[in-house]
Structure 1
């Protein structure tokens, strides 16, 4: 009877195409997620003819691989990939990539939000207990950890499923990118200190308060100096005449009073790739180690954030010669990294996923002058003043405390400062939201109250769906603002010429390329979400998807 049942089950599996062994055979030795900060999806088609070919013959007649076009040719290109939340900032975007969870689950509702208990702005990875490790002096870097991330990552689930044998690392110039990609159980998350030029981490990861010996040696070698005190020359790229935002400059100095200037250039990504290679070598990522192991080798994971693309976009805009040049340099950097992996017999056995945390708006000033939109750069303080004036006109003023705080697209109103009005907080929220929506003051397209959001009373629109996906009670504001197209909102100290954050295509549309074991090559036109990345990687690794994941398996997974 048991043999008949087993035979029947096997027959059903054959008919349905279920082959358990093929899933295990497709399991990658190494997963590498590359998040190109602020890369829009259109860069792949807009500049595709300028990228290296998928395959390149070298001087010895051997074949080398390209960058973006290698991924497109050897793997799956999801051409209609988007983020599904609002707002589109670095913190929420990177949290989504390896959790598969929107901010309403992950708790990462922005880069910053207002903490009512401390009455201060809170950084998304802020943690007073996560002391900086790697510097001999105290710098401006905040103390940080992943404790604000309220769900698990792919790396977390991989560590638990393998009894800790899998090795998980995340790196990037930005602390929030590395931490939110790495998660809670990573072996290490590393980021850059612009004051000292050191790679650093948090005592959350380095519990003994000391960097690994190889990392201390890397910092001591001052490798960083090879990428600084130079000139970023993009004269040849500018001569291509492929940009809309014109500039008289054809080069920028990477020299500065600290190590910040070179990060706003392709050299910042060069430095990150050097670290990626050190992590792979020194931590033996993707390399089978059988000594002392009874269980099968566990797959490893490395997440890489390329922040320099984001810095360039902020300072020069997406249609500039600088952005074109940093994108072309990223292509050549990817090619060099892939060939380095190939020399170590890792490329064919690695699952490579390339995406981005968000896009970017064209320069608001140029959209206003050339395309006649009403776009502009606004500031949080301006919105705050407008709401304060409205409340003063509506209810009068008592005391000197301001009841209003604006952080990113969230408006927080302290009910205790308006208790004397006897108005219900929900009524105050509703009046402020109507005022902002009706007048479109400070570039506001629409404003929704927390009561509307939590009760599911928003209209059935794409924008409203993203707002709901981005709202976490207690962290998000009493009112959420959505800007008009080509309006960006900055804090008072920012010198950016462009930014991101909106629910519009230029911010939500990002590249999504996958290449390696378990992936069917081809172009996939079905809509895809960045929420789908974590469940897809988890499936290919044979582990449960992260706790907050809600995406689906991508169509490119080999059936």
Structure 2
């Protein structure tokens, strides 16, 4: 999975891709050209969960990167687990207190373990903890994620100590070595025709720099930014795939002594961090994909040599896309804007206080949802139906708001069917807000001072994702039929002749399978 990869990136930079990376996937594999995310909000943790469970937040329960337990008002990070002990880092480091316990449904990786009586090997790898943990599932042999100390770590959910090969990998200090090389464009900067000028007002700069321009002297920024800086450069992609190669070699993945299929779940996190900081029209994003293309070429060649060409199966997809920076869009005379969530929440609470006599009835507008203070409402015996109605009427008056719906009445709402389906699929009543806000196209939460980009909405720029398959059991070709993110797990299950995940709502993409 490539975090924040829009579908059009397959073709936007196609002419400059090498033959062995993205072009190899498209030329030798099978592309599902119209694959969509069938829920909102389009957020990283939900995307990783939905690809591997074949279902949506309504069933798998991962309602955001962070979500709110509605019964208590407690904020919960998607992979948070206070019972887990960090492995490979300090015991008090919260970065290691992680597991998949909040994921309510099984993953296709779980089903593979069950189908082979746990003889298959499953490992998840990503810079982001959620990108490694959620795809690997509940029965994984390991999940590894990157700590800002510069090391790959895990938690006691998987192991008591890091394997020797991971410790040896950490000893190479690759993050530091890469950053000391600085980040300049792969090709002459004048040749980056798919991007706007390097010096522009839409990009966020690194701490310790005056402008967001090339070259980026990462060697000089380590002290102020830490080794976590590598995640916001293309070197994060290289680092991730180098660890993946080490996992293949040291865990004998693809050469399982029991003769079983193994599953290596990789998420490439850096494109998301680069996109958030620099926006989608930047030279930084273009350079990232040109460099990722070469990293993929290297990784595929490595698999050819170690597992055997045609003896492994790849699928490449994304957890979500990204919008144009609204200020850039409006500067080009398009329509768009920023929805200020903090201002909206304050205005909403002021209104509700005047009507119902209580402060902070709304505790959050995260994930474009209104989260009510259910404990307060219950204690004060407030009229929740009236509160919801007043909140909806207020939100409808705000600029940039297209639709607002009470989730108890979502099926009856006067909202286009495709959007309504995504609202319902994304709603988990135990973990999602009582009211869903849908913004107008090219609007997202932020302010005119916001640089970079973000995601989270139903629109094609956030929901149209790549899905390309290659290798064993895969036909060559493409389909323009509409497919969903939730179809991926069912397709993998069909390929492997194993049961679909226990919450799956997807259907196998039969055109892909060479049967």
TM-score by length of 2: 0.91
Q: Measure, in 2, the Cα distance between the counterparts of 1:304 and 1:496.
A: 28
Q: Hey, what does 2:284 align to over in structure 1?
A: 322
1:397 is aligned, of 351, 357, 365, to 357
Q: Deviations over 1:521-548 (max 9, x none)?
A: 0121111111111011111111001111
SS of 1:251's equivalent in the other structure is coil
Q: Measure, in 2, the Cα distance between the counterparts of 1:416 and 1:266.
A: 45
Judged with a 3 Å threshold, the aligned counterparts in structure 2 of structure 1 residues 414 and 213 are, in CA distance, closer, same or farther, namely: same
Q: Hey, what does 1:385 align to over in structure 2?
A: 346
Q: Hey, what does 1:28 align to over in structure 2?
A: none
Coordinate RMSD, CA, aligned: 2.1
Displacement after TM superposition at 1:337 (Å): 0.7
Q: Deviations over 1:238-272 (max 9, x none)?
A: 31242353222222232323112221111011000
Q: Hey, what does 2:167 align to over in structure 1?
A: 216
Displacement after TM superposition at 1:435 (Å): 2.1
Q: Hey, what does 2:202 align to over in structure 1?
A: none
Matched, 1:157 2:125: no
Judged with a 3 Å threshold, the aligned counterparts in structure 2 of structure 1 residues 139 and 397 are, in CA distance, closer, same or farther, namely: same
Q: Hey, what does 1:272 align to over in structure 2?
A: 240
1:98 is aligned, of 52, 58, 64, to 52
SS of 2:179's equivalent in the other structure is coil
Q: Hey, what does 2:458 align to over in structure 1?
A: 503
Matched, 1:426 2:385: yes
Q: Measure, in 2, the Cα distance between the counterparts of 1:477 and 1:140.
A: 26
Q: Measure, in 1, the Cα distance between the counterparts of 2:381 and 2:328.
A: 46
Q: Deviations over 1:292-346 (max 9, x none)?
A: x5xxx11000011111111111011111111111011111110011111112243
Q: Measure, in 2, the Cα distance between the counterparts of 1:350 and 1:419.
A: 55
Q: Measure, in 2, the Cα distance between the counterparts of 1:70 and 1:527.
A: 23
Matched, 1:409 2:368: yes
SS of 2:302's equivalent in the other structure is helix
Matched, 1:125 2:79: yes
Contact kept? 2:70, 2:433, Cα under 8 Å:
no
Q: Hey, what does 1:466 align to over in structure 2?
A: 422
1:70 is aligned, of 15, 24, 33, to 24
Q: Measure, in 1, the Cα distance between the counterparts of 2:97 and 2:292.
A: 30
Matches within 5 A, 1:302-321: 302-321=264-283
Q: Measure, in 1, the Cα distance between the counterparts of 2:307 and 2:93.
A: 40
Displacement after TM superposition at 1:483 (Å): 2.0
1:250 is aligned, of 214, 217, 229, to 214
Q: Measure, in 2, the Cα distance between the counterparts of 1:118 and 1:401.
A: 15
Q: Hey, what does 2:208 align to over in structure 1?
A: none
Displacement after TM superposition at 1:116 (Å): 4.2
Judged with a 3 Å threshold, the aligned counterparts in structure 2 of structure 1 residues 470 and 420 are, in CA distance, closer, same or farther, namely: closer
2:317 is aligned, of 355, 360, 375, to 355
Contact kept? 2:361, 2:377, Cα under 8 Å:
no
Q: Which has the larger radius of gyration?
A: 1
- Residue ranges of structure 2 left out of the alignment (5+ in a row): 200-212
2:398 is aligned, of 437, 440, 443, to 440
1:551 is aligned, of 481, 506, 515, to 506
Q: How many residue pairs are counted as aligned between the two chains?
A: 496
Judged with a 3 Å threshold, the aligned counterparts in structure 2 of structure 1 residues 87 and 198 are, in CA distance, closer, same or farther, namely: same
SS of 2:438's equivalent in the other structure is strand
